[in-house]
Amino acid sequence: MDKFTTHTGVGVPLRRSNVDTDQIIPAVYLKRVTRTGFEDGLFAAWRDDPDFILNNPVYAPGSVLVAGPDFGTGSSREHAVWALQNYGFKAVISPRFGDIFRGNCGKAGLVAAQVDEKVVQRLWTVLEDQPGASVTVDLESRSVRAGEGENAVEDSFDIDDYTRWRLLEGLDDIGVTLGHESDIAAYEGRRPSFKPVTQHA
Amino acid sequence: MGRTLSEKVWDDHVVRANAGEPDLLFVDLHLIHEVTSPQAFDGLRLAGRQVRRPDLTLATEDHNVPTLDWDKPIADPVSRTQVETLRKNAEEFGVRLHPLGDLDQGIVHVVGPQLGLTQPGMTIVCGDSHTSTHGAFGAIAFGIGTSEVEHVLATQTLPQAKPKTMAVTVNGSLPDGVTAKDLVLNLIAHTGTGGGQGYIVEYRGAAIEELSMEGRMTICNMSIEWGAKAGLIAPDQTTFDYIEGRPEAPKGADWDAAVAYWSSLRTDDDAEFDREIVLDASEMTPFVTWGTNPGQGVPLGASVPSPQDFEEESDKVACEKALAYMGLEAGTPMREVAVDTVFVGSCTNGRIEDLRLAAEVIRGRQVAESTRLLVVPGSVRVRLQAEEEGLDVIFKEAGAEWRGAGCSMCLGMNPDTLSPGERSASTSNRNFEGRQGKGGRTHLVSIPVAAATAVRGTLSSPADLD
Ligand code: SF4
C-alpha cells in the first residue's frame, strides 16, 4: 500500500445522505475478479443524469468526495472503495460512515475522514460557490482545508489511530499480524477441541 | 462487575491485546463465496501466502448463480468466470466448497447453520454484511471486506476495535400473524439506519426467547440494517435442540463439553450495557417499508407518510426523494399499493419455516393476475425438504415460480431482477434504490405479508384474504 500523508485535489460536493454501497456500485458490476476497472460502475444509476455532479466537467477530475451522513452503509463490498479509487478519489469526507465501508477504506488506502456535519455543509458551500476548488486532506495533522478568505474552512477530522498509523506508514496489515505468529499459534494450542472444523482428517 | 454475553465471547477470542491497538481476534469459522473472495486469493498468491486454516474455512456459491437452469453451464460468461475462479481457488488452497449442483450449496448464511457449523460462542466472519445472521446462536458474527477476507485467509485472525454493547429488550409476546421480520422492521424504524453504529447488540426479553431459531436468525440478520457491528442472542435449549444431530455438531463427550460451555454464555445479572432499548412486542403489527432504506417503514395499516410528517430537514428531504423514487403519493394507504412481483427468499426469510408459512397462506389460492410470485429456497436442502413436504406443488398450483437455491432477487446480481419502475414486495433485507434491479422499487415485508400480497396483488396481510 502507498503511504498517504496529505492530498490536495478537486472537491466534489455530493449533496446526499444515506448513500449505501449499492448506490456507490450496483451488484451487477461486481462480477469482475480483479481490483481494477470498477470506475465504470461508480454511482451507475446516477451517471445517465446530466445534472449528476460528476457529469459536470469542472467536478469530473475530482479526487476528494464530500458526502452527507451515512455514506457507505449496507453491503460489505470492498468494490465500492475500489470503484472510488479507480475513478481517482483519494479521500472521502462525511459526518458518518458505514462501519464495514470505513474499515475497507482503511485497508485499501482510501482516507475516510469523519467530520462534523456543519463542516460538510460549509465545504459544500465553498465547493458550490467556487466549482473546481481544491480540498486538502492532511492525515498528519488530521485536518481538512478548503477555500479562501471569509468562507475558508479549516477543521479537524476523526480517524482511528491505528488506521492513521498504517496509512501514514503504508503498512500491509497482514504483514503486521504475521509478526505475531507465535501468539496465534499459542492461541490455537489452547482452543477447545469441541469447536467445529470443516474438514476431517 | 459482570460481563455481557458479547464481552464473554469476545474475551474468549483475543489472541493478543495491546493498549492503543485493536485486539487481535481469532476467527473460528470463515465463510466464503464467489463475489468477495477472488481478489483476496489473488493477494495471497501475489505474496506467496497460504490459507492458514483451511479446516476452519468453508466456501459456497450463492450471490451470482442462476436459479433457473442451474444444472447447465452458467450462461453469462462474466458470472461463469467468477464462479469458476472460486472453484479454482478452493482447489488450489484446499478449501471445502459446496458448488452449484451440490447438496449443500446455498446462501452462505443458510448453509452454515444447516450444517451445524454455526455454534454458540464462536467468532464467524464472511465477506458479506449479513453474516450477523449467525449471531442468533450466540456467536459474534460480522461482515468483512475483501482485504479482511485475505487477512483471515492468511492469519485466521482479524484486528478489531472492541465495539460498545447495547441491549435490545423486547418484552411481551408477538401477536398472532406478527413475525420476527415485523419485529426487526419495527425496531429499525424506531432507531433509524445509523442507530446501532459502533455497537454489538444483544437481543433479549420474552419475545426473543419465544422465537424459533429461524425467527432469531431473521432478527440478527438485519442487525446491519440499523448499522450495528453484530447482533446476538443468548443460546438456550431452543439453540441446542436446533444444533443437535446436525452433520458438524459436536458428538459424544464433545457435545457435553460444548453444552456446558454454551450454557455459560449469558449476560451476568450485574453486567452493564452501554445503551439499552426496550420495546413491547404485544403492540406490534405487520410492518412494511415505503421508502428506500430499511428504516423507512410503517405498519401495514398506515398510509404513505408525507415529508411534512418529519421534523428534521434532512428527513423531509430524504422522504421527498424516496417518494419520488418509489413512485408513491403521500397519504395513500399502504394496503392500496399494487405490487408487480413478490419475492420470497434470501438469508433473511429463505429457510424451511419461512416456506412453510408462505405455503400455508397460499394453499388453495391463486396468485393475482397482475402479480408474479418468485419462491427461491435459501439452500438446496431447504428446496429438497420443501419438495418432500409438497410445498413446491402448493406454490406451483397457485401460479408461482419455484426456483433453485441462491441469493437471487435479494441483490439482483443474477438474471432475477426487477425492471425499471417495477414494484416488489420482498422478504429480503434491503430496499435500497436499484438493489433488486436498476429503477426497481422494493417494499420489505414479512413472509405472511408477502404471501397475502401475492394473492391480492396489493400489500396485504393474511387477515385481508378472508
Ligand atoms: S441473500 Fe441477499 S443479503 Fe443474504 S447473502 Fe445473499 S445477497 Fe446477501
- Model pLDDT for residues B227-266, shown as the tens digit of each residue: 999 999 999 999 999 999 999 999 999 999 999 999 999 9
Grid coordinates of B27: 476467527
Grid coordinates of A124: 459544500
- Closest of B124, B147, B186, B166 to residue B36, by C-alpha: B147
Rounded CA gap, A12 and A33, in Å?
29
B329 C-alpha vs ligand 1 centroid, how far in Å?
30
Cβ of residue B128 lying under 6 Å from some atom of ligand 1:
yes
Q: Return all residues near B394 (Cβ < 8 A) that are at least 6 apart.
A: B359, B362, B363
What is this structure's pTM?
0.96
pLDDT for B413: 87
Rounded CA gap, B389 and A123, in Å?
60
Q: Is the pLDDT of residue B324 over 90?
A: yes
Read off the pLDDT of residues B35-79 as tens digits, 9 standing for 90 and up.
999 999 999 999 999 999 999 999 999 999 999 988 888 888 999
**Percent of chain B residues past pLDDT 90, beyond the cut:** 95
Cβ separation A198–B49 shorter than 8 A: no
Q: Is the pLDDT of residue A201 over 90?
A: no
Cβ separation A27–B198 shorter than 8 A: no
Nearest 5°: CA angle at A35, between A30 and A39?
Answer: 65
Cβ separation B161–A162 shorter than 8 A: yes
Cβ of residue B346 lying under 6 Å from some atom of ligand 1:
yes
Interface test with A, best of B10, B14, B18, B35 (most A CBs within 10 A): B35
Distance between A5 CA and the closest CA of chain B, angstroms: 20
Read off the pLDDT of residues B419-428 as tens digits, 9 standing for 90 and up.
999 999 999 9
Cβ separation A28–B412 shorter than 8 A: yes
Q: What residue's CA is closest to ligand 1, atom 4? A: B347
- Closest of B124, B149, B178 to residue B39, by C-alpha: B149
pLDDT band at A150; cut points 50, 70, 90: confident
Flag whether residue A26 sits within 8 Å of chain B, measured between CB atoms. yes
Read off the pLDDT of residues B379-397 as tens digits, 9 standing for 90 and up.
999 999 999 999 999 999 9
Interface test with B, best of A24, A99, A158, A173 (most B CBs within 10 A): A99
Grid coordinates of B43: 493477494
B264-290: burial string, b at 16+ Cβ within 10 Å, e else: ebbbeeebebeeebebebeebbbbbbb
Q: Is the pLDDT of residue A2 over 90?
A: no
Best mutation site among B126, B407, B429, B430 for ligand 1 pocket (most ligand atoms within 8 Å of CB)? B407
Q: Is the pLDDT of residue A46 over 90?
A: yes
Q: Is the pLDDT of residue B1 over 90?
A: no
**A22 → chain B, closest CA residue:** B435
B175 C-alpha vs ligand 1 centroid, how far in Å?
28
Cβ separation A99–B433 shorter than 8 A: no
Neighbours of B326 (CB within 10 A): 21
Q: Is the pLDDT of residue A151 over 90?
A: no
Within 69-108 of A, beta carbons closer than 8 Å to B belong to 69-70, 73-79, 81, 96, 98-100, 103-104, 107-108
pLDDT band at B313; cut points 50, 70, 90: confident
DSSP A18-82: --BHHHHS-GGGTT-SSSS-GGGGTTHHHHT-TTSGGGSTTTTT--EEEE-SSBTBS---THHHH
Q: Return all residues near B388 (Cβ < 8 A) that are at least 6 apart.
A: none
Mean of pLDDT over chain B: 97
Could you tell me how many CB contacts below 8 A there are between chain A and chain B? Answer: 203
Q: Which residue has the cell 472460486?
A: B86
pLDDT for B298: 98
- Closest of A114, A91, A106 to residue A166, by C-alpha: A106
Rounded CA gap, B248 and B110, in Å?
14
Q: Is the pLDDT of residue B457 over 90?
A: yes
pLDDT for B266: 98
Cβ separation B318–A107 shorter than 8 A: no
Backbone phi, then psi, for B59, in 5-degree steps?
Answer: -120, 145
Rounded CA gap, B357 and B323, in Å?
31
Q: What residue's CA is closest to ligand 1, atom 2? A: B410
Q: What is the DSSP letter of B419?
A: P
Q: Which residues in chain B are closer than 8 Å to A73, comparing Cβ atoms?
A: 193-194, 227, 293
Rounded CA gap, A74 and A101, in Å?
8
**Percent of chain B residues past pLDDT 70, beyond the cut:** 100
Q: Is the pLDDT of residue B301 over 90?
A: yes
Neighbours of B390 (CB within 10 A): 11
Radius of gyration of chain B (CA): 21
